Amino acid sequence: MKYNSVISTPWQVNDSAAAKLVQTGSSALSNYEILSVAAGISEESSRKLLVLAGNDYHLLAKLTLNQMCQVDGITTARAIRIAAIFEIGRRRKSTPASLRPKIRCSQDAWKLLEGLLSDLQHEEFWVLLLNRSNQVIDQKRISSGGISGTVTDVRLILNAAVERLASGIILAHNHPSGNLSPSEADLKITKKIKEAAQMLDLSLLDHLIVSDQGYLSMADDNLMP
């Protein structure tokens, strides 16, 4: 039996601009197209609204709700949404960018993961996702298991890295027993993940084993495949 693919989308009046954003990225959209997508209004209404503001986003941000509602297709609800969009922009400007921790050595990685893993009574497997400067983009728990092991799905690790556009990854899991020596299974999964990551031009930098006794770095101990 053949199943027809069904595409559901929240866009109704600005499908063409939304599709263009998905295909080519937001920077490819014109001023009226990006406003159309963000505000959920038609491209025609977006054009008219920008004309009212002299095609100037700074002036558009200063329009009152009543002024925006003068344009056909701009309801009070949509005018409120537009005002909220500009308010988000203002708050972003006034908020300092958060500093991403940078991994310079295994101890830097351990400090991030110690509180997550060292006191657990069951095994968990985590991954740190890094950019090209070895700054941490994200940290994700991949799996949670029992006291003697946890299943690690390579696909979940690679999917997390691709989604966040990571350039490097650091693996970590805990040993509730306190024994920091890697098992044969630990070495095998590390090799498997490294080989899979290389196919996507991802660098596997280290694999940490963490317990309440401290940590072991496979990279420091020359145990990386």
Q: 0.85 cut: is pTM over it?
A: no
Binning pLDDT at 50, 70 and 90, where does residue 22 land? confident
Whether residues 130 and 74 share a domain: the answer is no
- Final residue before a domain boundary, out of 40, 65, 94: 94
Region 6-22 average pLDDT: 57
The CATH number covering residue 213 comes to: 3.40.140.10
pLDDT top residue among 130 and 2 = 130
Whether residues 64 and 163 share a domain: the answer is no
Q: How many domains does the chain have?
A: 2
Which of 43, 47, 81 has its CA nearest to residue 65?
A: 81
pLDDT for res 133: 93
3-class state of residue 62 by DSSP: coil
Task: Give whole-number Cα distances, 138 to 17, 40, 41, 44, 58, in Å.
Answer: 30, 30, 34, 40, 34
**Side-chain half-sphere CA neighbours of 70 within 13 A:** 11
Whether residues 40 and 121 share a domain: the answer is no
pLDDT top residue among 130 and 36 = 130
Which of 117, 129, 189 has its CA nearest to residue 153?
A: 189
Task: Give whole-number Cα distances, 84 to 39, 80, 201, in Å.
Answer: 10, 6, 40
Element of type H or E holding 72: none
- Would the pLDDT of 32 be above 90? no
pLDDT for res 29: 80
Beta strand extents in 178-225 (DSSP E only): 203-211, 214-217
The range of the structural domain enclosing residue 139 comes to: 106-217
